[in-house]
């Protein structure tokens, strides 16, 4: 997996890229931000 240098994190379309070769986080920053926010909420709930 290649790390993105301009956006923190990784986002992959596992339906089309099961090998996680194409990090699409820069293409979908809003989706990534929403997913990150939701993950933080889930973690906070325990």
Q: What's the pLDDT score for residue 8?
A: 80
Say whether pLDDT at 2 is over 80: no
Tokens at 10, concatenated: 């990784």
Total-model pTM: 0.70
Is 24:46 a contact under the CB 8 Å cutoff?
Answer: no
Q: How do residues 6-45 score in pLDDT, each as one tens digit?
A: 558 999 999 999 999 999 999 999 999 999 999 999 999 9
Q: Please state the separation of Cα 29 from the chain's center in Å.
A: 8
The C-alpha atoms of residue 4 and residue 46 are separated, in whole angstroms, by 29
- Counting the structural domains of the chain, the total is 1
Q: What's the pLDDT score for residue 4?
A: 45
Q: Could you count the other beta carbons within 10 Å of the beta carbon of residue 4?
A: 15
Question: Residues with Cβ < 8 Å from 22, sequence gap 6 or more?
Answer: 12, 13
**Structural domain containing residue 40:** 1-46
């Amino acid at each position: 997996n290649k790390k993105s240098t301009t956006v923190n994190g990784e986002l992959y379309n596992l339906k089309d890229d099961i090998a996680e070769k194409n990090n699409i986080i820069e293409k979908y920053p809003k989706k990534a931000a929403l997913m990150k926010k939701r993950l933080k909420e889930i973690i906070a709930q325990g």
